[in-house]
A = this chain, B = another copy of it.
Amino acid sequence: MGKLSEFEMIAKHFAPLAERFANGVLDSFGLRDDAAVFACASDEEWVVTKDMIVEGIHFLPDDPPASVAKKLLRVNLSDLAAKGAAPSHYLLATAWPTSADDAWVAEFARGLGEDQELFGIGLLGGDTVSTTGPATFSLTAFGTVKTGTMIRRAGAQVGDKIYVSGTIGDAFIGLQLLKGQLSVSAAGDRDFLVNRYRVPHPRLDLTDLLRQTAHAAIDVSDGLLADLDHLCRASRAGARVNLESLPVSPAAQACIDAGTAVREDLARGGDDYEVLFTASPTLSLPNDVTPIGTVIGQEGLWAGTGEGPLSPLDSAGFRHF
């Protein structure tokens, strides 16, 4: 680092993010203690999720630092949204290479600060170290649910419809654009698709709907089919999916029409951070929630519609190794 000591970095960039919790049932002690404390209401449980991201693997070296910070936070909030939990606070561990400069850290912290305001949460504690490798960040996010109401992956019932929020495949195309593996003619489409990769929108707006209706839920991070496979395995069931009904954005549809994207690949791409859930087939749904299939007793993923014949679907999504 060479510019700020770890203590100066914490005091300058991260302690202000912890001011929200100077007192009360959550206390960060201004990041000047070894630990933080938090209580919980007697009728609630904490839901906790922890993700780690590595430069060059989960984000690109020239991604804007504020969007790296936002993505780190939001992928965790996306997990909370799919579980029906209301976000509360987070812990952050950061490992910085010597090449990281103060301006990068300042932008990273600014991104977190903006999202704290947007989502009404705050930093409660963490750790700051150096690394000889790529920048590596680990974030632990906490949310609350009424006791016993966390929506699980397990719980899908045969006959449930399978629903997905938003549109699928935008981030997959956005990453290809950033890597120069693909191009689109409309600048607006490019910005939209790249932004879908860089700054996901956790579907916290769906939390009430999910609490009221979902039998099982998961956020789409590894890829729609891979995550559907996770959900089905946990529920000891299978799924019949109609990929023709996959919701795609106008920008992604333009790529399909131009022959530069294949609908089935979009269902394997990942990084969508939409919510996939199963519920009663008679559900009345918001506009941007789309039924894409049905939970069936036969394990595995199958392509097919209605009572037609089934053919096996390969779920392969993103794997680290």
Contacts and interface: CB of A to CB of B under 8 A. Distances in A.
Interface in A81-99: 82-83, 85, 91-96, 98
Interface residues of A, number: 72
> What DSSP secondary structure best describes chain A's contact surface?
mixed
B33 A153 contact: yes
B127 A138 contact: yes
B91 A53 contact: no
A99 to B, nearest CB: 11
Interface string A216-239: 001100000000001001100000
B50 A34 contact: no
Interface in A289-321: 319-321
Interface stretch (A129-137, A172-180, A192-200, A264-272): A129-137
A36 interface: yes
User: Assembly of this chain: how many copies?
Assistant: 2
A206 interface: no
Given A35-B47, A50-B140, 6 more contacts: A1-B321, A36-B47, A39-B46, A42-B42, A57-B129, A96-B321
Interface of A: 1-2, 4-7, 25, 29, 32-40, 42, 44-54, 56-58, 79-80, 82-83, 85, 91-96, 98, 124-134, 136, 138, 140, 145, 147, 150, 152-154, 218-219, 230, 233-234, 319-321
